[in-house]
Amino acid sequence: MTSKRIVLSSDHAAIGMRQTIANHIAGLGYEVVDIGPTTPESTPYPQHGEAAARRVASGDCALGIILCGTGQGIMMAANKVKGVRCGVCSDAFSARMIRQHNDANMLSLGARVIGEALALDIIDAFLSADFEGGRHATRVDMITAIEKG
Ligand code: RB5
């Protein structure tokens, strides 16, 4: 991964965890583009998933990390943006594999599912893995073809 710019977003369920993650990845040397929200009022996850996904799809950010209560709803919204491949992970193995095999460019986490220490472990696995290409590229191309209809 050459670019060090990572977009971060969540709904209201994950404001605190998002801040912890922002500090963590900034400490790893990444440029954090935290697009909020910053206040605790209830706010719909689709708009935050879409906003982060558009930063990745446009190339403004190399990767994205998004959160909601389960990680599921915001992941579904992000995956509606063309060019985005986002998976929800609750373990480090899956986070590594979605980079290595699926060329995931976004990671989604459930702030009501996992604790902060595990979230950071998952993020470390995601950020330290690279896409392996080869036969996996053929399969990722098939996903893109579905997107193109
Ligand atoms: C918000 O209450 C909750 O529905 C949301 O954070 C998320 O879990 C949806 O998938």
CATH number at residue 12: 3.40.1400.10
* CB environment 4-24: b (16+ within 10 A), e (fewer): ebbbbbbbbbbbebbeebbeb
Taking only the tens place, the pLDDT of each residue in 54-95 is 999 999 999 999 999 999 999 999 999 999 999 999 999 999
> Does 101 participate in catalysis according to the annotation?
yes
Q: Per-residue DSSP letters for 37-84?
A: --S-S---HHHHHHHHHHHHHTTSSSEEEEEESSSHHHHHHHTTSTT-
Ligand 1 binding pocket mutation candidate from 11, 12, 74, 113 (most atoms within 8 A of CB): 11
Q: Is 126 helix (H, G, I), strand (E, B) or coil?
A: helix
Hey, is 143 helix, strand or coil? helix
Q: Note whether 85 and 107 are within 8 A (CB).
A: no
pTM above 0.85, yes or no: yes
Q: Which listed residue (61, 68, 86, 89) is catalytic?
A: 68
Structural domains in the chain (count): 1
| Residues having CB within 6 Å of any atom of ligand 1 | 11, 13, 45, 68-70, 72-73
Question: Does the pLDDT at position 1 exceed 90?
Answer: no
Residue of minimum CA distance from atom 4 in ligand 1? 69
Instruction: Domain of residue 137: give its range.
Output: 5-148
Which residue's CA is the nearest one to ligand 1's atom 8?
A: 69
Chain mean pLDDT for the chain: 97
Mutate to test the pocket of ligand 1, among 17, 45, 72 (most ligand atoms within 8 A of CB): 45
